Amino acid sequence: MYDSTNPDIVTSIGPSEEKSVVLTFDDGPSKLLPRFLDVLQQHGVPAVFFWETRLLHPDRPWKRVLEEGHQLGTHATKHVNLTKLTHEQQYNELKNSQQRIETITGATVKLFRPPFGQFNDDTLQAAKRLGMTTVMWKVAPIDWELKESPEQIVANTVSHLEDGAIILLHEIRPTLGILPQLIEAIREKGYTFKLL
């Protein structure tokens, strides 16, 4: 579980008439993206993708992401710890990433997730200057560490669910393998899926 009282950070969405959560995927667009999209489409689930723009080759299926109703955000250009950079360096890193996504996809980028979840006041101010909301999470099932026991991703997620929670996942093979099971387990707990 993660939470923040900082008003410049989003870790959950507001309560609604039905319990809901937000699935987010970091570290793409990966070669597995088409398969992630297949699972999400089959189950009728929208998601938010935070992309490293060094991976955003024009031949990645970004059109499909938008056509199928998902949201895009930036995860910076490269997966660097932004807190080791000056304010202006952070600003330029985010600006370049935001512009690259917008240039390739035509979509406006309003969402940002700091690499490693690391940020400081300069990071938040840089994002704000660029009109972006900094998005963190409430639930992190640690999918990147569970290559040998991916079923634990489901258990870690379900045991920490709460209304409005943003869930941190990654575009990696273990997560892809359990994604159908994870979606069903979340639904069995009475939750629907929303966007930010």
Q: How many CB atoms lie within 10 A of CB 36?
A: 24
Measured distance CA(123)–CA(48) in Å, rounded: 21
Catalytic residue among 3, 26, 121, 143: 26
Half-sphere exposure of 105 (CA within 13 A, CB side): 27
- Residue 160 among the catalytic residues: no
Catalytic residue among 70, 75, 143, 170: 170
Which of 95, 80, 158, 152 has its CA nearest to residue 126? 95
The topology (CATH level 3) of 9-193 is TIM Barrel (3.20.20)
Q: List CB contacts of 91: < 8 A, sequence separation 6 or more.
A: 126, 129, 130
**Residues of the chain with confidence (pLDDT) below 70:** 1-3
Predicted TM-score of the model (pTM): 0.95
Half-sphere exposure of 66 (CA within 13 A, CB side): 14
Token pair in block for residue 77: 């250009």
Report the pLDDT value the prediction gives residue 163, as an integer from 0 to 100: 95
Report the pLDDT value the prediction gives residue 82, as an integer from 0 to 100: 95
Report the pLDDT value the prediction gives residue 2, as an integer from 0 to 100: 67
Chain position carrying tokens 């900094």: 134
Report the pLDDT value the prediction gives residue 16, as an integer from 0 to 100: 76
Report the pLDDT value the prediction gives residue 3, as an integer from 0 to 100: 67
Measured distance CA(182)–CA(54) in Å, rounded: 29
- Residue 87 among the catalytic residues: no
Q: Which residues pair with 139 in a beta bridge?
A: 167
**Segment 24-49, tens digit of pLDDT:** 999 999 999 999 999 999 999 999 99
Report the pLDDT value the prediction gives residue 187, as an integer from 0 to 100: 98
